[in-house]
Amino acid sequence: MNKKCILIIGGARSGKSRFALELAAGSDKPVLFVATATAGDDEMKQRIERHQKERPADWSTLEVTTDVSNHIRKEIGRSRTVVLDCVTLLLNNIFNDCSYQTGPQNEAVIEEKVAREVNSLIECIRDTDASFIIVTNEIGLGLVPADRVSRLYRDLLGKVNQTLARCADEVYLMVAGLPVRVTPPNPTS
């Protein structure tokens, strides 16, 4: 796989992470797996442990909640494929870091932090000599959330997903475990 950026988007349990792992394993290049999940309870701790066991032992793992691009730059080493799993939790971590209170002033702070995080990630993708496989959720297909915080989260994630899709070479929508390529193939790749 030549250097490229691949965005994998889909609903919960649609097979996004599994597909990302398959793509990374198929690259035959050293992999840095960037995990953004935190173990807030026992069930989540078990999920994280299951995911850790699914990854090849020779992959490097970076567990980070925010500021992912700076951490990637410091830890990339000889890795030439980076898997970021996932943007959805990264955004959630930013919300948690802001100890969110409703109100336009705090919303502006969150929006600014999200924009800074995403812009920094895009710079890292462009400047790093590695392919990126980025996992994110599509949460905008359902009902409009009932509360202001949830609507802000949904709206910001939608904007982030659009931004990442524009800079990606390939975008896949996962449906029932099947990858559906959303972007047309690039004739030069």
Options 3, 4, 29, 51, the catalytic residue: 51
Answer yes or no: 71 catalytic.
no
User: Is residue 115 classed exposed, middle or buried when 0-12, 13-18 and 19+ CB atoms within 10 A define those classes?
Assistant: middle
Element (H, E) at 19: helix 16-26
Q: List the structure tokens of 148.
A: 């202001």
CA separation for the pair 44, 71 (Å, rounded)? 23
CA separation for the pair 83, 145 (Å, rounded)? 30
| Coil/strand/helix, residue 16 | helix
Tell me which residue has tokens 């990339």.
Answer: 76
Where in the sequence numbering do the catalytic residues fall? Answer: 51
